[in-house]
Structure 1
């Protein structure tokens, strides 16, 4: 399933919730707490009892070599893992002490509060920049008057660091933007539904260095108002943008697990596990 197909499936699940809503003012960032999370695709176990606290208002980076379960873990944090038909999961994911997998909790609410930005920018190419920002609201049944829409578009594009570049062409197609601009447009679209947490799956991997620096600046600016969890293979990026890191590893065919986690400076300067030291210093991975 591509990122765009996943996004459409997510929107489709939102659209099935017929209860209209209105976005309120910006809300406080939330703490995410994963407890003994294991994940499978069919009979293949890809994560084994992963526990990690991602504090409110901080940036947590998930690092580790390819195939160790980082992106799968990220998708368990807002119930996108279950969009894959063969997927299953055990454990808990608490959003400020409330389990998002509890049977009494609506999946739509989890995905409103915990947004996702994918590896490759995926705006709706024929839809205008303005309508891209508002897409999540329309598909969740949120109703706004014209003035409120105008304010929300400016607010979220400003937070995503894109407003000055596009304010005079809001009705032009989002697909006409550069790759870095498209990714910031996707960030604005995620922010429009007032998430408390923003998940980012290698958001800069397809971008040039200039666009990467701008996205990193956006992450730093957003951290005070939304909890961010980012998967990255770029160790310098992890050092630049994150407050905390978690090092994932899958060894000898075993499921992915966390080897070590803690403040970013400690993880890079004084890691406790020699495997962490080898990875952050580029000796494997």
Structure 2
């Protein structure tokens, strides 16, 4: 993977005012702690614009922690600490001049368990993304429809927009959460094992949605499903941790290489199911 060049940015500049870099998002030397426990060691990685990158590795190697660092959710945990840089549009999102709410508007998150507002209607679930981010739009109906279409859900719910979001199936709820994130038109969408609680049919629909979104938004997905990583991503990063050693990247590169001709024997062992 390529890396972005660090740029000095005036503290008065907002993220929205900055030109697009060669990578949508990048980290430089990111390390993380929970109290005295170090969970990540100097992770440097760049995510190409409009592509899907899969983060793979055994449980406990820091993948989900790293994902949460990418939109400033890590700092919400008591005792959490961070070193290094996370660059969006070549500006460090942890700079004191950058508001967390602005970061999370541009870098959305879809969690492992679908979390729509259960008593809120399908329509209001999607529109809530606009309200929470403070975005004003001329045609809210059009934004809701477009977001549901991009999430691959419109044809299934267009006659049920006033029904509770909690009445949808699990797979539909997850796509509703994707639509809610897309409503604010993010640059990056983070997905933390979005299919782990879903049946095979719902998983396929989520994967189809990811494929359709590729090119429109940069996607970073954490998955333990190696077949899924191979299907949906163009790039992969293999994380590993061991007793006494925090999570770190063993190898990163094009998905075809990681699965077909990895440089490190540990990568080959993991993607072929010999451990983890």
Say whether the fold is shared (TM-score over 0.5). yes
What are the equivalent positions in structure 2 for 1:76-225 lying under 5 Å apart? 76-145=69-138, 148-225=139-216
Q: 1:143 to 1:184 in 2, by over 3 A?
A: same
The TM-score, its normalising length taken from structure 1, stands at 0.88
- Counterpart CA distance in 2 for 1:111 and 1:150 is 23
Unpaired stretches in structure 1, ≥5 consecutive residues: 1-26
Unpaired stretches in structure 2, ≥5 consecutive residues: 1-19
Paired residue for 1:267? 258
Q: Secondary structure at the match of 1:250?
A: strand
Question: Is 1:233 equivalent to 2:224 in the alignment?
Answer: yes
Paired residue for 2:239? 248
Q: Provide, for residues 13-39 of structure 1, a one-character-per-residue CA deviation record: whole Å limited to 9, x for no partner.
A: xxxxxxxxxxxxxx9996111100001
Question: Is 1:61 equivalent to 2:49 in the alignment?
Answer: no
The TM-score, its normalising length taken from structure 2, stands at 0.91
Question: Is 1:46 equivalent to 2:32 in the alignment?
Answer: no
Contact 1:30 1:227 (C-alpha < 8 Å) held by counterparts? no
- Counterpart CA distance in 2 for 1:61 and 1:144 is 33
Q: Provide, for residues 70-95 of structure 1, a one-character-per-residue CA deviation record: whole Å limited to 9, x for no partner.
A: 00000000101111121110000001
- Counterpart CA distance in 2 for 1:180 and 1:265 is 28
Q: Secondary structure at the match of 2:49?
A: coil
- Counterpart CA distance in 2 for 1:141 and 1:276 is 43
- Counterpart CA distance in 2 for 1:143 and 1:73 is 31
Q: Secondary structure at the match of 1:210?
A: helix
- Counterpart CA distance in 2 for 1:180 and 1:128 is 16
Contact 2:52 2:233 (C-alpha < 8 Å) held by counterparts? yes
- Counterpart CA distance in 2 for 1:261 and 1:220 is 21
Paired residue for 1:75? 68
Contact 1:28 1:196 (C-alpha < 8 Å) held by counterparts? no
Higher mean alpha-carbon deviation, 109-118 vs 131-140, is at 131-140
Contact 1:35 1:91 (C-alpha < 8 Å) held by counterparts? yes
Q: 1:166 to 1:28 in 2, by over 3 A?
A: farther
Q: Secondary structure at the match of 1:31?
A: strand
- Counterpart CA distance in 2 for 1:58 and 1:161 is 18
- Counterpart CA distance in 1 for 2:120 and 2:66 is 31
Q: 1:30 to 1:193 in 2, by over 3 A?
A: farther
Contact 1:116 1:200 (C-alpha < 8 Å) held by counterparts? yes
CA-based RMSD of the aligned residues comes to 1.5
For this pair of structures, how many residues does the alignment match?
A: 258
- Counterpart CA distance in 2 for 1:140 and 1:218 is 23
Segments ≥4 residues shifted beyond 3 Å: 27-30
Q: Provide, for residues 200-238 of structure 1, a one-character-per-residue CA deviation record: whole Å limited to 9, x for no partner.
A: 000000000000000000001001110000000000000
